[in-house]
Structure 1
Amino acid sequence: MLRRTADARLSRRYARRFGFGPRRLTIIRADAPVAMTVGFFRPRIVLSTGLLRMLEPAELAAVVAHERHHLRRRDPLALFALSLGRTALWYVPLLGWAEDKYKTAIEVLADRHAIASSNGGAKELGSALLKLLRQGGPAKVPAASASFADASVNLRIRLLLDPQYSPSWRPPLAATSLSLAVLVLMVALV
């Protein structure tokens, strides 16, 4: 899909504007707003022309800073590995909880990076997130990608409004108990 819809001229222009090397930022021709980081070993940021039309320059800069964080940390590879582990070990329910919390944590960390690296702080990032939500949310994205508006939107907005808020990261008792029982049983069988 990327090769077929990529706009090479716009990709070069925006890559220069945001200080990316070759093939690190791709602009695709799509009306839907898309902002995500894809790729395992050579990740890249993908933005759509619909997103470029929708956001103000400062909002776009905040979104790019958010995605840059995912790019540097190689979050798509980590998300894929977690998803693979959860699928392979479906009988350990704590892995599903851990995957959900990890998705939330990387989005919160990327938001904090974007806030710290932009002049307007949380205002532009929150504005961009709200615009995406008004449009019906982001376009459907590949499972192994880190997308700007696909995880824990309510928590992210709360943290933008109240940076001192501390969400609970405590695992659920039932999933933890069942996971421990499964692991004990597996060890006993070996």
Structure 2
Amino acid sequence: MTARLSRRRGAVLVTGLVVLRMVWDAAGGACPKMSVAACIGVSAALVALVCGIGFGARAVWLGVSTARAVTDLPRQQCDPALVAAARSAGLSRVDCVVAAAPSAFTAGLVRPRVSVTSAAVTALDPQELQAVLVHESAHVRRRDPLRRVLIKAATDVVFFVPALRWWGERQRESSELAADRSAIERVGRKAVAGALLATATGGAPSLTAAFDAPVAARTAQLLDDPIPARPVPLRLVLLSFVGAVTAVSLLMCIGQTALTVLSR
């Protein structure tokens, strides 16, 4: 297994060096009036500009589509006990969503709000429900819905840098662990564990679910076990390098083609 992993890393590294060499050669031909370094720099800046525009458009689309999905959910009047528990957790308002699965989520980019399904109200005992609400309150304070939309938009647009997606997953895990710590401090480990067990398979709406995965790391924290550090894999670093170099090279090829056509 170790030998196979070493061969894969070596293959990725060689591929990256080959691609970098191709970009360097292409830069000399694509930018005859500029230095190679300047040509690569301009191309990289253009790639960043295109990604920035795509990131903004993708973030807006995700925000709008998520807001519509949450707005379309069937709602009912909240039980007074749920309203009282929400105020105790530091929430000024909570919505009750009609659903058969116990779940809770925080949605809203500018003014995030917490929603709890009707099944969660009946399935959880008061302490577990309080743990869920304290957890969601932490997401509201951190503005995690906005962070998640921005991270998802970035990883969707800059798909050729897989290390960015890995970083996004670690950020999501970190936000869940932080929210769990708030609930543990307020309600205790037993209530948080019961809520996690009941809602981990609850099937909360996509893009808005908060009290869900990653279960493994959260379980370790509940058991007070050390959460092992997970540095970014070298494979992802090398693949991200190759992806970035390929994107710059592709833009230079497009620029060279455009200059050739215009010069005719």
Which aligned pairs between 1:5-84 and structure 2 lie closer than 5 A?
Answer: 5-8=74-77, 10=78, 14-19=82-87, 20-21=91-92, 24-84=93-153
Is residue 122 from structure 1 mapped to residue 183 from structure 2 by the alignment?
no
Is residue 180 from structure 1 mapped to residue 227 from structure 2 by the alignment?
no
Return the letter of the residue paired with 1:35. A
The answer (yes or no) to whether the contact 1:2–1:28 under 8 Å persists in 2 is no
What secondary structure, in the 3-state scheme, does the structure 2 residue paired with 1:76 have?
A: helix
The answer (yes or no) to whether the contact 1:45–1:67 under 8 Å persists in 2 is yes
Call closer, same or farther: CA 1:55–1:13 in 2, change over 3 Å.
Answer: closer
Q: Which runs of 4+ in 1 moved over 6 A?
A: 187-190
Q: Normalising by structure 1, what TM-score?
A: 0.84
What secondary structure, in the 3-state scheme, does the structure 2 residue paired with 1:147 have?
A: coil
Tell me how large the CA RMSD over aligned residues is.
2.2
The answer (yes or no) to whether the contact 1:27–1:47 under 8 Å persists in 2 is yes
Q: 1:110-153: per-residue Cα shift (whole Å, max 9, x none)?
A: 100111122xx1110001112234xxx0224132x24202x110
The answer (yes or no) to whether the contact 1:141–1:147 under 8 Å persists in 2 is no
Is residue 159 from structure 1 mapped to residue 159 from structure 2 by the alignment?
no
The answer (yes or no) to whether the contact 2:82–2:121 under 8 Å persists in 1 is no
Take 2:247 and 2:166, find their aligned partners in 1: how far apart are those partners? 20
| Deviation, structure 1 residue 180 | 2.9
Take 1:186 and 1:4, find their aligned partners in 2: how far apart are those partners? 40
Gaps of 5+ in 1: none
Gaps of 5+ in 2: 1-69, 253-264
Q: Normalising by structure 2, what TM-score?
A: 0.62
Take 2:82 and 2:184, find their aligned partners in 1: how far apart are those partners? 20
Indicate the percent of aligned positions where both proteins have the same amino acid. Answer: 31
More helix by percentage = 2
The answer (yes or no) to whether the contact 1:37–1:43 under 8 Å persists in 2 is yes
In the alignment of these two chains, the number of paired residues is 179
Take 2:247 and 2:227, find their aligned partners in 1: how far apart are those partners? 35
Which aligned pairs between 1:88-99 and structure 2 lie closer than 5 A?
Answer: 88-99=157-168
Take 1:51 and 1:142, find their aligned partners in 2: how far apart are those partners? 17
Which structure has the bigger radius of gyration?
A: 2
Identify the residue that residue 173 of structure 2 maps to in structure 1: 104
